């Protein structure tokens, strides 16, 4: 009997860890994420939280990060306990754009044949509401990612922009379409053609503004944005309740400086690649002639086309090498 008990002990010993395998796999699947952090929040654990986690790269959107984001979104979509999802980044950056080092060597053929960025818009197909909580930079692909969400909450230091023109390309994940619908043609065209950013305080340019207890509420048919704005700033913005305003103008200047300011804006635009600028303008204008789906499709084709230009190669190389681009309009 003693020998039998010893034998049973030997057989059972290696089996014990396997009793905990499901739990180990569950934790491993979370720990396996390299670029994001996921959790369940709320008193009833009914909110899925996804945090972009590439702080050293300011949450640059590499292929691995987007793949993990899509995986997490699918998991929360299939989780019956989760009713909504929050997508956020860090204090310095929500996401500072696509990973330029990863894409700079792409050709037009690579983009077109491989459907470059086609997997970025899975977020728009998620049925559960998604709230973007934006702090710091939301630039390029980061701005596009935020605009894909249903609601945007932004801290007072948040900055939004589509600076792709500065590196010889244009937005490729809906930026020219969603931004134009959100802020109007004039401001969208200025942002896309100059690469300039707007802050939370610049929300006076948005389509529908309502002042609610010290917080500026910015809303349009595609997304709702709540900007944490001090009461004095909100008063300065002069947004009466229910005021609807299209952004007919981008900025207002004193009479004596308006011409000089316009010249400075034109100089910024003229310093970029002329061929890529023409593509960017065509894409923004299409937002008023097409449905969102059609506009995004055209934008992607024009975006791919920039990769057939020498200016795209020069722009991205200059960005990586931290020098000023020397565009040749080719």
Domain holding 92: CATH number? 3.90.226.10
Q: Which residue has the tokens 């065509």?
A: 282
How many domains is the chain partitioned into structurally? 1
Specify if 284 maps to a domain: yes
- What's the pLDDT score for residue 232? 42
Is residue 27 included in any domain, yes or no? no
Determine the structural domain holding residue 87 and report its residue range: 36-209+246-321
156 is a domain residue: yes
Catalytic residue selected from 68, 164, 190, 211: 164
| pLDDT confidence of residue 274 | 83
Share of the chain above pLDDT 70, in %: 72
Residue 128 forms part of a structural domain: yes
Q: Is 144 a catalytic residue?
A: yes
Predicted pLDDT at 251: 66
Give the integer Cα–Cα distance in Å for 282 and 194.
Answer: 15
Mean pLDDT over 3-20 rounds to 42
Tell me which of 48, 60, 132, 144 is the catalytic residue. 144
Query: Residue 231: which residues within 8 A CB-CB, separation 6 or more?
Result: 214
Assess if residue 219 is contained within a domain: no
Residue 228 lies in a domain: no
Which has the minimum average pLDDT: 47-51, 121-125, 130-134, 263-267?
263-267
Dihedral, CA atoms, 50, 97, 114, 106, nearest 10 degrees?
-150
Domain assignment present for 150: yes
Q: Is pLDDT larger for residue 326 or for residue 112?
A: 326
pLDDT at residue 253 in the model: 62
Residue 304 has pLDDT above 60, yes or no: yes
Is the residue at 111 inside a domain? Answer: yes
Beta strands in the chain (DSSP E): 36-41, 47-52, 84-88, 93-95, 130-134, 137-139, 151-154, 159-161, 197-199, 208-212, 215-219, 224-227
pLDDT at 255: 64
Q: Which of 96, 98, 182, 206 is catalytic?
A: 98
Pick the catalytic residue from 48, 136, 140, 141: 141
Q: Rounded distance, CA 125 to CA 253, Å?
A: 42
Kindly indicate the confidence band of residue 142, based on its pLDDT and cuts at 50, 70 and 90.
very high
What is the value of pTM for the model shown?
A: 0.69
**Residue 51 pLDDT exceeds 60:** yes
Active site residue 294: no
């Amino acid at each position: 009997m003693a020998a039998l008990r010893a034998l049973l002990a030997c057989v059972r010993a290696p089996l014990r860890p396997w009793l905990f395998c499901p739990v180990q796999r569950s934790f491993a699947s979370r720990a396996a994420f390299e670029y994001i952090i996921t959790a369940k929040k709320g008193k009833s654990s009914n909110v899925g939280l996804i945090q972009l986690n590439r702080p050293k790269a300011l949450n640059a959107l590499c292929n691995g990060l987007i793949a993990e984001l899509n995986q997490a979104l699918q998991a929360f979509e299939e989780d019956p306990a989760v009713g909504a999802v929050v997508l956020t980044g860090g204090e310095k950056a929500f996401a500072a754009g696509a990973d330029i080092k990863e894409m700079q060597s792409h050709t037009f053929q690579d983009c077109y044949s491989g459907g470059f960025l086609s997997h970025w818009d899975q977020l728009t197909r998620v049925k559960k509401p998604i709230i973007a909580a934006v702090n710091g930079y939301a630039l390029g692909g980061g701005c596009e990612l935020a605009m894909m969400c249903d609601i945007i909450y932004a801290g007072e230091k948040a900055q939004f922009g589509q600076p792709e023109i500065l590196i010889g390309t244009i937005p490729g994940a809906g930026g020219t379409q969603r931004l134009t619908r959100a802020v109007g043609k004039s401001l969208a065209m200025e942002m896309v053609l100059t690469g300039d950013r707007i802050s939370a305080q610049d929300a006076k340019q948005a389509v529908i503004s309502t002042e609610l207890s010290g917080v500026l509420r910015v809303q349009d048919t595609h997304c709702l944005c709540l900007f944490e704005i001090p009461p004095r700033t909100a008063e300065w913005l002069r947004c009466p309740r229910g005021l609807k305003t299209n952004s007919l103008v981008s900025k207002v200047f004193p009479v004596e400086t308006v011409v000089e300011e316009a010249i400075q804006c034109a100089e910024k635009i003229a310093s970029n690649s002329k061929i890529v600028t023409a593509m960017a303008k065509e894409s923004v204008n299409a937002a008023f002639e097409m449905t969102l789906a059609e506009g995004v499709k055209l934008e992607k084709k024009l975006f791919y086309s920039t990769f057939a230009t020498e200016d795209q190669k020069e722009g991205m190389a200059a960005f990586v090498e931290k020098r000023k681009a020397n565009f040749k309009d080719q």
